[in-house]
Amino acid sequence: MAEENSALSFSVASVLEDVLNQSQTLDVDSRRAQESAMRRYEGAAWLRKMVGVVGAKDLPAEPSEDEFRLGLRSGLILCNVINKVQPGAVPKVVESSCDSSVVPDGAALSAYQYFENVRNFLVAVEQMGLPTFEASDLEQGGKSSRIVNCVLALKSYNEWKQMGGNGTWKFGGNLKASTPNKQLIRKNSDPFTNSVSRTNDNSKMHNSSLSTLVHAVLLDKKPDEVPILLESLLSKVMEEFEHRIASQVEMQKPSPKSSPSFNGNRTFVKHTSCDVKVEDKSPVMVMKDKSSRKNSVNDEELRRKQLRYQMVFDDQQEDIKALRQSLLTTKAGMQFMQRKFHEDIHNLGQHVLGLAHAASGYHRVLEENRKLYNQVQDLKGNIRVYCRVRPFIGRQSNFTSTVDSIEEGTISINTPSKYGKGRRSFNFNKVFGPSATQGEVFEDTRPLIRSVLDGYNVCIFAYGQTGSGKTHTMTGPKDLTEDNQGVNYRALNDLFFLAEQRKGTLQYDVSVQMIEIYNEQVRDLLSTDGSTKRLEIRNNSQNGFNVPEASLMRVSSTYDVIDLMALGHKNRVVGATALNDRSSRSHSCLTVHVQGRDLTSGAVLRGCMHLVDLAGSERVDKSEVTGDRLKEAQHINRSLSALGDVISSLAQKNAHVPYRNSKLTQLLQDSLGGQAKTLMFVHISPELDAVGETLSTLKFAERVASVELGAARVNKDSSDVKDLKEQIANLKAALARKEGEHEHRPNMNLQGVDPFTEPKSRRKPAGDTGSNETSKKYRSRQKTQSIDIDELLGNSPPWPPVSSPGEMYADDDRDIGSSGDWVDKVMVNKLDGARGTPGSWEAENSRLSDSFYQKYLPEQSYNMFQGGNGFDVATTDDLDELDAATSDSSEPDLLWQYNHSKLPTFSNGNMSKLNNLNAKPIRSPDLSNRTVIPNMMPSPSRKSTNVAPQRGGRQLAPAEVKRKTGNRK
Name the residues that contact ligand ATP, by CB under 6 A: 390-391, 393, 464, 466-472, 477, 580, 582-584, 615-616, 683
Pairing of strands 574-575, 583-584: antiparallel
| Cα–Cα distance measured from residue 439 to residue 476, given in angstroms and rounded to the nearest whole number | 11
State the minimum distance, in angstroms, from the CB of residue 693 to ligand ATP.
11
Q: Which is nearer to ligand ATP, 335 or 437 (by Cβ)?
A: 437
| Cα–Cα distance measured from residue 415 to residue 694, given in angstroms and rounded to the nearest whole number | 10
In the beta sheet, which residues pair with residue 677?
A: 458
**CB-CB neighbours of 301 under 10 Å:** 11
State the minimum distance, in angstroms, from the CB of residue 477 to ligand ATP.
4
Q: Which is nearer to ligand ATP, 637 or 908 (by Cβ)?
A: 637
| Cα–Cα distance measured from residue 673 to residue 708, given in angstroms and rounded to the nearest whole number | 7
Pairing of strands 677-684, 457-464: parallel
Q: Are 272 and 63 in contact (CB under 8 A)?
A: no
| Cα–Cα distance measured from residue 444 to residue 653, given in angstroms and rounded to the nearest whole number | 28
Q: Which is nearer to ligand ATP, 28 or 578 (by Cβ)?
A: 578
Reduce the DSSP state of residue 277 to 3 states and report it: helix
The reply to whether 469 sits in an annotated binding site is: yes
Widest pairwise Cα distance in the chain: 227
Give the residue nearest to ligand ATP (CB): 616
State the minimum distance, in angstroms, from the CB of residue 495 to ligand ATP.
23
Q: Which is nearer to ligand ATP, 635 or 683 (by Cβ)?
A: 683
State the minimum distance, in angstroms, from the CB of residue 867 to ligand ATP.
50
What are the residues whose beta carbons fall under 8 Å from the beta carbon of 89, sequence distance 6 or more?
A: 82, 83, 124, 127, 128
| Cα–Cα distance measured from residue 619 to residue 693, given in angstroms and rounded to the nearest whole number | 9
State the minimum distance, in angstroms, from the CB of residue 625 to ligand ATP.
11
Q: Are 498 and 453 in contact (CB under 8 A)?
A: yes
State the minimum distance, in angstroms, from the CB of residue 623 to ligand ATP.
8
State the minimum distance, in angstroms, from the CB of residue 577 to ligand ATP.
7
State the minimum distance, in angstroms, from the CB of residue 826 to ligand ATP.
39
Q: Are 941 and 600 in contact (CB under 8 A)?
A: no
3-state secondary structure 469-497: CHHHHHCCCCCCCCCCCCHHHHHHHHHHH
State the minimum distance, in angstroms, from the CB of residue 483 to ligand ATP.
12
Q: Which is nearer to ligand ATP, 74 or 584 (by Cβ)?
A: 584
| Cα–Cα distance measured from residue 570 to residue 524, given in angstroms and rounded to the nearest whole number | 12
Report the candidate in 11, 28, 27, 31 with the shortest Cα–Cα distance to residue 228: 27
Q: Which is nearer to ligand ATP, 407 or 581 (by Cβ)?
A: 581
**Half-sphere exposure for 371 (CA within 13 Å, toward CB):** 10
The reply to whether 568 sits in an annotated binding site is: no
The reply to whether 165 sits in an annotated binding site is: no
| Cα–Cα distance measured from residue 346 to residue 846, given in angstroms and rounded to the nearest whole number | 88
Q: Which is nearer to ligand ATP, 192 or 432 (by Cβ)?
A: 432
Q: Are 904 and 917 in contact (CB under 8 A)?
A: no
State the minimum distance, in angstroms, from the CB of residue 966 to ligand ATP.
22
Amino acid code (one letter) for 492: L
Q: Which is nearer to ligand ATP, 184 or 393 (by Cβ)?
A: 393
Q: Which is nearer to ligand ATP, 162 or 435 (by Cβ)?
A: 435
Q: Which is nearer to ligand ATP, 391 or 416 (by Cβ)?
A: 391
Reduce the DSSP state of residue 221 to 3 states and report it: coil
Report the candidate in 820, 896, 904, 880 with the shortest Cα–Cα distance to residue 458: 896
The reply to whether 467 sits in an annotated binding site is: yes
**Half-sphere exposure for 421 (CA within 13 Å, toward CB):** 1
CA angle 536, 538, 540 (to 5 degrees): 140
State the minimum distance, in angstroms, from the CB of residue 671 to ligand ATP.
19
State the minimum distance, in angstroms, from the CB of residue 734 to ligand ATP.
49
Residue 468 DSSP symbol = S
Give the containing element (helix H, strand E) for 426. strand 422-427
| Cα–Cα distance measured from residue 48 to residue 62, given in angstroms and rounded to the nearest whole number | 11
Residue 860 DSSP symbol = I
CA dihedral 893, 895, 898, 904 (to 10 degrees): -110
The reply to whether 470 sits in an annotated binding site is: yes
The reply to whether 909 sits in an annotated binding site is: no
Pairing of strands 384-389, 677-684: parallel
In the beta sheet, which residues pair with residue 547?
A: 538
**CB-CB neighbours of 59 under 10 Å:** 20
The reply to whether 437 sits in an annotated binding site is: no
Q: Which is nearer to ligand ATP, 616 or 797 (by Cβ)?
A: 616
The beta-strand segments (E) located in 501-548 are 506-518, 521-524, 534-535, 537-540, 545-548
Amino acid code (one letter) for 524: D
State the minimum distance, in angstroms, from the CB of residue 588 to ligand ATP.
10
Q: Which is nearer to ligand ATP, 173 or 391 (by Cβ)?
A: 391
Q: Which is nearer to ligand ATP, 195 or 623 (by Cβ)?
A: 623
Q: How far is CA 86 from the centre of its chain?
A: 125
At 385, phi and psi to the nearest 5?
-130, 120
State the minimum distance, in angstroms, from the CB of residue 343 to ligand ATP.
58
Q: Which is nearer to ligand ATP, 144 or 466 (by Cβ)?
A: 466
**CB-CB neighbours of 859 under 10 Å:** 14
In the beta sheet, which residues pair with residue 598?
A: 506
**CB-CB neighbours of 632 under 10 Å:** 23
State the minimum distance, in angstroms, from the CB of residue 618 to ligand ATP.
7
| Cα–Cα distance measured from residue 898 to residue 841, given in angstroms and rounded to the nearest whole number | 44
Q: Which is nearer to ligand ATP, 692 or 746 (by Cβ)?
A: 692
Residues making up the binding site = 464-471
Residues making up the binding site for ATP = 464-471
